[in-house]
Amino acid sequence: MKEFIQSLPKVELHLHLEGTLEPELMFALAKRNDVDIPFNSIDQVRDAYSFHNLQSFLDIYYQGANVLINEQDFFDLTWAYLRRCQGDNVLHTEVFFDPQTHTARGISFETVVNGIHRALVQGATELGISSKLIMCFLRHLDEESAFKTLQQAQPHRDKIVAVGLDSSEIGHPPAKFERVFKNAITLGFLTVAHAGEEGAASNISEALNLLQITRIDHGVRCSEDETLVKQLVSERIPLTVCPLSNIKLKVFDTMAQHNIVELLRKGLCVTINSDDPAYFGGYMVDNFSAVANAHPMSKMEIAQFTFNAIAASFISKSEKERLRIVTQSYLDLHP
């Protein structure tokens, strides 16, 4: 099954670029930019990646981002991730970035978005990996800061396809950003939001109703509300699930207890994603393998995660059809 997973065409829909900062690159950028980091060695960094909940991760994740200063840093970060995609046979990826993490430190919005965009364009031409960029608002910050960020994104409408919502879910419900999302939709952005990761299933319903999102990031706590599960199935609302992330952040105790396969078998449009792979122990192949090892599945079921991700992506109908055919051909050749 390992070889089947390795070569299976994949589509990633939940990936924070800041969460792809490997300790090696963190050290290299700290040196290049003369930034102090509270670690003496790469092993010490990896030892610090032991989390007991979402907030304990976020504290370290925002600290790591301090080494990103110049446009080239954002290019290098994004490019390193795209090379990982190439290794894992990820054909299309929709990636998040958190502008406020950088603008709050005096880095301009342009520096961030231009570095990322340049790498994504090069990824398409040199690696054949297509992509979309999603700008997330940090939900622990206020509405005013989100509105300001939305305004900064305006000149870059051609580079950013959607807005999202991430950071600390508990205490910062979707309702806090209802007006920001309404405005973003008026401006032509698609919308997604993290909901039902650590927070209750009611956050998923609230995000659907108030933020008019078209897919849910995480969403695994939907299981607590059977009516909601039925709605997600009947309306084909996708969940971008991140299995290794959920174990690292103690959303589930073990992979065997993870509900992703149960949700797949109930007919939900669930997908597998890596979230913050440098912090959570793996990229796409690692996430697929961890799920398949804990939950015996047929090859068709494993491939269904790719078919679901194609359907849930923000690419055109014709691009979806092309990826669907590529995946179906692979499945036909490896029954």
Q: How far is the CB of 196 from ligand HPA (least distance, A)?
A: 11
Size of the residue set binding Zn ion (CB under 5 A): 1
Q: Which is nearer to Zn ion, 71 or 173 (CB)?
A: 173
Query: With contact defined as beta carbons under 8 Å apart, do 134 and 192 qualify?
Result: yes
Amino acid at site 286: D
**Rama region for 288: left / alpha / beta (φ>0; ψ in -120 to 50; rest):** alpha
By beta-carbon proximity to Zn ion, the closer residue of 240 and 327 is 240
22 binds, options Zn ion, ligand HPA, none, Cβ within 5 to 8 A by partner type? none
Catalytic residue (choose from 197, 235, 262, 321): 197
Note whether 174 and 198 are within 8 A (CB).
no
| CB-based contact 246:212 (threshold 8 Å) | no
Nearer to ligand HPA, 76 or 98 (CB): 98
Q: Which positions touch ligand HPA (CB under 6 A)?
A: 16, 19, 54, 166-167, 194, 197, 245, 275-276
- The C-alpha atoms of residue 231 and residue 60 are separated, in whole angstroms, by 36
User: Per rule CB under 5 A, is residue 198 in the interface with Zn ion?
Assistant: no
Choosing among ligand HPA, Zn ion, none, which partner's interface includes residue 71 (Cβ < 5 to 8 Å by kind)? none
Q: Which listed residue (20, 102, 275, 313) binds Zn ion by CB under 5 A?
A: 275
Q: Which is nearer to ligand HPA, 71 or 275 (CB)?
A: 275
Q: How far is the CB of 16 from ligand HPA (least distance, A)?
A: 4
- Kindly report the three-state secondary structure assignment for every residue of the chain: CHHHHHHCCEEEEEEEHHHHCCHHHHHHHHHHHCCCCCCCCHHHHHHHCCCCCHHHHHHHHHHHHHHCCCHHHHHHHHHHHHHHHHHCCEEEEEEEECHHHHHCCCCCHHHHHHHHHHHHHHHHHHHCCEEEEEEEEECCCCHHHHHHHHHHHHHHCCCCCEEEEECCCCCCCHHHHHHHHHHHHHCCCEEEEEECCCCCHHHHHHHHHHCCCCEEEECHHHHHCHHHHHHHHHCCCCEEECHHHHHHCCCCCCHHHCCHHHHHHCCCCEEECCECHHHHCCCHHHHHHHHHHHCCCCHHHHHHHHHHHHHHCCCCHHHHHHHHHHHHHHHHHCC
Which of Zn ion, ligand HPA, none sits in contact with 88, Cβ below 5 to 8 A by type? none
Residue nearer to Zn ion on the CB measure, 73 or 275 = 275
Q: Token digits for 244?
A: 């290794």
Query: Stretches 202-210, 268-276, 288-296, 304-312: which one binds Zn ion (CB under 5 A)?
Result: 268-276
Residue number, 136 or 315, with CB nearest to ligand HPA: 136
Reply yes or no on whether 226 is catalytic.
Answer: no
Please state the closest distance from residue 256 (CB atom) to Zn ion, in A: 23
Instruction: Choose from ligand HPA, Zn ion, none: what does 19 bind? Cβ within 5-8 Å by kind.
Output: ligand HPA
Q: How far is the CB of 217 from Zn ion (least distance, A)?
A: 6
Binds 167, which of Zn ion, ligand HPA, none (CB < 5 to 8 A, cut-off by type)?
ligand HPA
10 binds, among ligand HPA, Zn ion, none (CB under 5 to 8 A by kind): none
Chain residues that interact with Zn ion, rule: CB under 5 A: 275
| Residue numbers annotated as active site | 197
